[in-house]
Structure 1
Amino acid sequence: MTTPSTSLPGGTWTLGDSTVTRFGYGAMQLAGPGVMGPPADRDGALAVLREAVGLGITHIDTSDAYGPRITNELIREALHPYPASLFLATKVGATRDARGGWPTARRPADLRRQVHENLEALGVDTLDLVNMRMGDARGPQPGSVTEAFETLAELRREGLIRHLGVSNVTPEQVAEARSVAPIVCVQNMYNLAHRHDDGLVDRLAADGIAYVPFFPLGGFTPLQSEVLSKVAGRLGTTPMSVALAWLLRRSPNILLIPGTSSTAHLRENIAGARIPLSGQDMAELDTIGRPAPTGSETDGE
């Protein structure tokens, strides 16, 4: 692969044998409401994808479950034949039902079918990266990943997948997956307000494994949002920009995949992620992720 642009905020990271921009793009929002059906503005969705690549982004995150199939078809229509530098990451382990739910589908036959559906929709012979989605809408759930991950490892040996990752997982499941086959990334919910994976981020960084957070503004309390908005106002930018900039500064192995269906918003996200955060900014933002005091602590007992 060719070397991607280094003009984007955060520079680059090596995923397996590929160098990608740390600022990437998540394609989930290109589908219709509830991540179901086609977008209201198909031409606009195609334009966002072309703009992302035109701006130098080389890491696009997708899944055949988005739509379902819609985002992968849009990616193929907008970008195929793909630039040599483009790295497409997809996800398996869940399907969609008629109500828009995400029922799990992790049996070997399910995973094989999903991998082939991604190959067909994207128009490729080999998938750059497949993330194994565990857990559910509530987050990571306990359970073994071995059988499912062995299936993906077998598909990798068959040449249908280049690299493997895991998503919506506990640290224990990360370790279990790594005992089956090498991984190049972990994709979990993580942001200023939800820092339960702090230790995992650091351990993965030491091992050269990427961490890909989703929902950079998800789950903030009103008080946490107030702190974030205060810092953003002082810097003359938006809370989303501060949240993205903080993630890039948090650790060099963090890769961003913010999604949008607007080219203007895409450019705003990139510009915002470039904002410099001072030591004072970082210290103030760090208070967002600290646990709230217990009753005994506030009462002085």
Structure 2
Amino acid sequence: MTDMPSVRGTLTADRPLGDLTWMRVGGPADWLFQPADHDDLADFLSALPADVPVFTMGVGSNLIVRDGGMRGVVIRMGRGFNGITIEEGGVVRAGAAALDSFVARKAADAGLDLTFLRTIPGTIGGAVAMNAGCYGQYVADRLIEVTVITRTGERQVIAAKGLGLAYRQSALPDGAVVVEAVFNAPAAAPEDLHATMDAQLKKRDETQPSKDRTAGSTFRNPAGFSSTGKADDVHDLKAWKLIDDAGMRGATLGGAIMNPKHANFLTNAGGASAADLEGLGERVRKAVYDASGITLEWEIKRVGEPIVNS
């Protein structure tokens, strides 16, 4: 096994990852690194051999780790990366490990509107990486810049326009780890912002299985098509409707189910393996394609290696 650099944080060998994901599945990482702060992360990455794979995870809210686990190093940031500060001019600065919901609430306390983040599961780092959005607003609409630490340990500040932010995706440099994001938020009355967020939470709980073991929306809403037949950035066609029409609401495989409450929520109903979850997702994709000719794209990130039966 590769000798690892010394760290001030925590570096654990053969660390199971299932308990770190919302779906509660997944094999072990060769190494799990929980850096103490920015300098600890930068020093570790600069000293880590270039051939060792690195993967950054947040709170595992949009993730399936396959049953065979992850090779290389999984980086999970916590204290030292979760600060939230309010600055002059409607600026909100948030660490990559800060929960989206916490950022929305702290901004609202200061009379700043980042309410679209309130019901997005996960952390700011993940929200930037996937240009997360809700209620018609996306990270791209409010992001000013991010600070990243590159695979070689260098710090870089990247303006939002340099991130290639698009629907559910970004173009972060390969291997770069987001450590901080800066947003520009419009002013509004705190009581109005909190009322808006309360209404969002109520609507979410009424329409989504928010108490079940899911990873949020399973598939992206398909892009629409313009009159020329070219794909555009309109996503009025909903994945849940395509799944419903294909007869896959409530479909099961092992301990996995397409949630009866919302057909686009793949759920660990009890005892599911990562193979069950991913396998059911692929069955849904095939059924939707057979019924509509549309290929659904995964929104949940699937990483690691399957267990290969001999």
When normalised by structure 2's length, the TM-score is 0.31
Greater fraction strand: 2
When normalised by structure 1's length, the TM-score is 0.32
Greater fraction helix: 1
